[in-house]
Amino acid sequence: MDIDFAELGFGTNFGILDWCIVVGYLIAIVSIGVYIRKYIASATDFMVAGRGLKTFLAIATMIGTEMGLITVMYSAQKGFTGGFAAFHIAFAAAIVTLLVGLSGFIVVPLRRLKVMTIPEFYEKRFGRNVRILGGTILAFSGILNMGMFLKAGAMFVFGVTGMHSWVHLKIIMTVLLGMVLLYTTLGGMVSVAVLDYIQFVVLSVSLVVASVLSIRFLGWTNIVDTVMEGKGMAGFNPFDEAGFGWTYVVWMFFLGLVSCAIWQTAVIRACSAKSTQIVKRIYVLSSVGFLIRFLIPYFFGIAAFVFVFNTTALREVFFPASGEADADLSLLAMPIFLSRILPTGFIGIISAGMLAAFMSTHDSYLLCWSSVLTQDVVAPWFKDGLSSKTRLLLTRIFIVTIGLFILIWGLWYPLGQDLWDYMAISGAIYFIGGFSLLAFGLYWKRASRVGAYLSLFSAFFAILGLTPVQETFSGVLAPVKRLLGLPPEEVISSAVVGLIVLATAVVLMVVGSLLFPDKGQNSYHAEREES
Amino acid sequence: MDWVKIWTFFFFASLSVFACLSIVVTIGGFFDIRSLFKD
């Protein structure tokens, strides 16, 4: 990691002015948030995102909350390693979100149930114990999923500001964690529509301008030719087995469904809308947001690849003769590229917008997972429930604990694969079981408690999609590799692992439900038939 | 299938749509906020 890019002749354009912009913007946006919360508290209903907002403000809020620094970092890395073929992921996300919006699949019946968390649905449909197990798995998977957030955010600051020592990265991660915890205790800003609007304007303008500047700097023909030279057709054709391949494309379409209809933050958005018609409208309009949140960062990653590939000194660092660059280094490519081509001042604005989004993302996820632990894992054990004081104390303890975990995990865990694939697999521990319970629980009367348990437990095997886990259990996985026709030293792709576990979870749900049906009529479907 | 042409069109079309949407939402959102504070 100790590579001084300035010594290689690639100093950053990030200067004193940019530092002032970043610090000033963050102070301003937190102050506005605190002011609005404190002095206009009585008008919460006017301010809360997604409830009764007018169309343009609702769209700004929706897209503004989708474009975070973490999304930009993992997507840029995917563009860097996959080339133009990575665009298929953005296409899949947009198409699936549009189809969910038109059909109302999963989100409309969930909205009718008026649940606010997935484990709440588990209890309504399968009983209290399934809620506790499901909540535990959801929190475990969600916290593991955000385990690399802090590191990805620190890598952006590290790359864009031109720091070059591993020690600097550790310091940035610790400072960022301190900022996030302070920000969360100040109340955060995630739900203030006015601030989401400001974020939308800053980020959308700066992302479009940065795209245009990248094309001007590199030239479109040069970009296409370099990707062709560096990656061949695999850099364009997503079905090419030398690149992504069929299984990966299918896995991405499933991920598109997960990120818009099954992931906890998406469910909150669907369930807090005024009516089922509005849920559908939000999803149809969201499809543009889901497309752009991936597409522009993929392009930044592709542009960073072209920049590195055409520069001998950088090429030797990123693509050493001994093989591919490691995952940490490919994460750094985009911020280094942007810090080189964007003018001083503008780079401060884009960094400030990204960091504000980074804090808001952490704020909402920390609150989300700590409240799942409090409400869905701890509270159901107490007959009389928890007092609001105890709930608040527990939530705060969980927030600090999760914060410390992501600091330690980010410093210690050897990524070994693209961040997007790490997030897909760590999330799959929850969402494979979640998909099975939601789809069958909502649309199949005979789905039973035993089927739900089997489905939830089987999803744990998704953890085998993480490269370091596979390396640890390489002996156990040898027969599976032989069955798939893979050489012993090769890693089973995360997409193959994900799809096999998904199929297993679905089969177990069906078989478990048919062999061990629930006694008596299920109250959820009985209520539904009555209504 | 000419993937180079497909992705080139896809990228520029999406970027143009998003740029237009951003302008419309920025202006419309400003008036929404104004009426929000008025309410």
Q: What pLDDT, on the 0 to 100 scale, is given for residue A155?
A: 85
pLDDT digits (tens, 9 = 90+) for A405-453: 988 999 868 878 888 999 899 999 989 999 999 999 999 978 998 999 9
| Alpha helices in A219-275, H assignment, sequence order | 220-231, 246-257, 264-271
Closest approach of A295 to chain B, Cα-based (Å)? 7
Residue A466 corresponds to which tokens in the numbers above?
Answer: 């993480």
- Buried-state track A199-220, b at ≥16 Cβ within 10 A, e below 16: bbbbbbbbbbebbebbbebbee
Per-residue pLDDT for A187 more than 80? no
Apex A122 CA angle, A398 and A253, nearest 5: 90
Give me the sign of the Cα torsion angle A84, A88, A94, A98.
positive
Distance between start and end Cα atoms, chain B: 54
pLDDT digits (tens, 9 = 90+) for A340-383: 788 989 989 989 998 888 877 787 788 788 888 887 888 887 76
Give me the sign of the Cα torsion angle A291, A297, A300, A301.
negative
Q: Which residue from A467, A516, A419 is spatially nearest to A149, judged by alpha carbons?
A: A419
Percent of residues, chain A, with pLDDT higher than 90:
32
Q: Which residue from A352, A33, A35 is spatially nearest to A194, judged by alpha carbons?
A: A33
Give me the sign of the Cα torsion angle A7, A311, A209, A66.
negative
Q: How confident is the model at residue A46 (pLDDT cuts 50, 70, 90)?
A: very low
Mean pLDDT of chain A: 83
Q: What pLDDT, on the 0 to 100 scale, is given for residue A45?
A: 41
CA separation for the pair A216, A57 (Å, rounded): 32
**Which residues have C-beta within 8 Å of that of residue B31, sequence separation ≥ 6?**
A56
Percent of residues, chain A, with pLDDT higher than 70:
85
Chain A residue numbers touching B14 (CB-CB < 8 A): 90, 291-292, 295
**Which residues have C-beta within 8 Å of that of residue A423, sequence separation ≥ 6?**
A74, A145, A148
If you write DSSP's letter for every residue of A271-339 in order, what string do you get? Answer: HTSSSHHHHHHHHHHHHHHHHHHHHHHHHHHHHHHHHHHT-HHHHHHHS-TTSSPPHHHHHHHHHHHHH
- Residue with more model confidence, A11 or A86: A86
CB distance A54–B32 less than 8 Å? yes
Chain A residue numbers touching B32 (CB-CB < 8 A): 53-57
A48 forms beta bridges with: A192
Q: What pLDDT, on the 0 to 100 scale, is given for residue A227?
A: 95
CB distance B17–A288 less than 8 Å? yes
SS3 assignment, position A352: helix
SS3 assignment, position A473: coil
Gyration radius of chain A's alpha carbons: 23
A210 forms beta bridges with: none
Q: How confident is the model at residue A296 (pLDDT cuts 50, 70, 90)?
A: very high
CA separation for the pair A266, A506 (Å, rounded): 22
Chain B residue numbers touching A291 (CB-CB < 8 A): 14
Q: What pLDDT, on the 0 to 100 scale, is given for residue A55?
A: 66
Per-residue pLDDT for A10 more than 70? no
CB distance A59–B1 less than 8 Å? no
Which of B10, B25, B26 should be substituted to probe chain A, the one whose Cβ sees the most A Cβ atoms within 10 Å?
B25
User: What are the backbone dihedrals phi and psi of residue A192, each rounded to the nearest 5 degrees, phi first?
Assistant: -90, 110
pLDDT digits (tens, 9 = 90+) for B1-39: 689 989 999 999 999 988 988 888 889 888 887 787 677
**Which residues have C-beta within 8 Å of that of residue A272, sequence separation ≥ 6?**
A50, A51, A116
| Residue A28 identity (one-letter amino acid) | A
